[in-house]
């Protein structure tokens, strides 16, 4: 089954404790992206990657890091989480420029609470 | 950052009724998309629009890319209980970075 998987699905942590949210897709997609969803704000892009070793900032990159060492994986790293990063996070992927970069498939989401 | 204005914010309708929602922007977009999000899940793509004036259907769903390129509409005909969820519009510029600008969402509730 074609899918985007995220782990963990739920996470409660404390301020300053480094964490990683993993994202993996099995569709051989070139493009991957991270979004956060907050009430009344819709989804906002954090970082995106057009291909392996190519990443760039979205609208709200502060406090986040990403890496794209393999095509299928795109982890989101919070080096020192703060309460304002409490949110619902989604990973998404698409075929890329050749196959429709905007037709993105989303993962099930990771609900993060930072105390 | 840029945002789309999506309306209405929520709707509560009777099963069988038709539904309309729309998105407007002060910016011109080259692509419009409509997603649906069920509770506890990620958004799922419903319809993608690539040309101004384009009208596209997907079953009971019909979406249009506004002629000014600053708006888009989604209609759902003969609603059923499984239509319940949050509907998001998203717009994209010509930059091909894959960046989507999302609306705030329309929450749809359907009474059987």
pLDDT at B1 over 60: no
Average pLDDT, chain B: 92
State how far the Cα of B54 lies from the Cα of A9, in Å rounded to an integer: 38
Which of A23-27, A99-103, B23-27, B107-111 shows the lowest mean pLDDT across its residues? A99-103
Binned at pLDDT 50, 70 and 90, residue A115 comes out as very high
**Cβ contact A63:A75 at 8 Å:** no
Closest Cα in chain A, distance from residue B92 (Å): 8
From CA A26, how far away is CA B98, in angstroms rounded?
Answer: 19
pLDDT tens-place string over residues B21-55: 999 999 899 999 999 999 889 999 999 999 999 99
Distance CA B107, CA B112 (A): 16
Dump pLDDT digits (tens) for A46-58: 999 999 999 999 9
pLDDT of B98 over the 80 cut: no
What is chain A's length?
115
Token pair belonging to A56: 């760039």
Chain B 49-78, residues with CB within 8 Å of chain A CB atoms: none
Contact A42 B88 (CB under 8 A): yes
Alpha helical stretches, state H, chain B: none
Which of A40, A102, A108 is facing B98, going by the closest CB pair? Answer: A102
Q: CA nearest A94 in B: which residue?
A: B98
The reported pLDDT for the residue numbered A35 is 96
Which helix (DSSP H) or strand (DSSP E) does residue A10 occupy?
strand A10-13
Strands B10-14, B5-7: pairing kind: unpaired
Mean pLDDT in chain A?
93
- Lowest-pLDDT range of B5-9, B65-69, B91-95: B91-95
* Contacts with B, A 33-62, CB within 8 Å: 33, 35, 40-45, 48, 50, 56, 58-60
CA–CA gap between residue B44 and residue B36 (Å, rounded): 5
- CA B76 to chain CA mean position, Å: 10
At A1, is the pLDDT very low, low, confident or very high (cuts 50, 70, 90)? confident
**Tokens 């407007």 map to which residue?**
B24
CA dist A107 → A14, A69, B87, B106 (Å): 24, 19, 16, 20
C-alpha to C-alpha distance for B110 and B112, rounded to whole angstroms: 6
Closest CA to B42 of A1, A52, A5: A5
Looking at residue A99, what is its pLDDT? 66
């Amino acid at each position: 089954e074609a899918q985007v998987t995220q782990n963990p699905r739920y996470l409660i942590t404390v301020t300053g404790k480094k964490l990683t949210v993993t994202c993996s897709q099995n569709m051989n997609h070139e493009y991957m992206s991270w979004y956060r969803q907050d009430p009344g704000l819709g989804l906002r892009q954090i970082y995106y990657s057009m291909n392996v070793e190519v990443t760039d900032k979205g609208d709200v990159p502060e406090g986040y890091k990403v890496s794209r060492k393999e095509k299928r994986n795109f982890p989101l790293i919070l080096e020192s989480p703060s309460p304002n990063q409490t949110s619902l996070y989604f990973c998404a992927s698409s075929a890329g420029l050749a196959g429709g970069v905007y037709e993105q498939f989303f993962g099930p989401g990771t609900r993060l609470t930072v105390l | 950052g840029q945002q789309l204005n999506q309306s209405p914010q929520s709707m509560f309708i009777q099963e069988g009724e038709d539904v309309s929602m729309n998105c407007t922007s002060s910016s011109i977009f080259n692509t419009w998309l409509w997603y649906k999000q069920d509770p506890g899940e990620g958004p799922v793509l419903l319809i993608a629009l690539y040309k101004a004036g384009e009208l596209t259907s997907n079953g009971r769903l019909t979406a249009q890319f506004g002629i000014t390129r600053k708006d888009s509409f989604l209609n759902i005909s003969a609603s059923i209980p499984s239509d319940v969820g949050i509907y998001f519009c998203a717009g994209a510029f010509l930059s091909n970075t894959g960046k989507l600008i999302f609306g705030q969402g329309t929450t749809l509730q359907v009474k059987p």
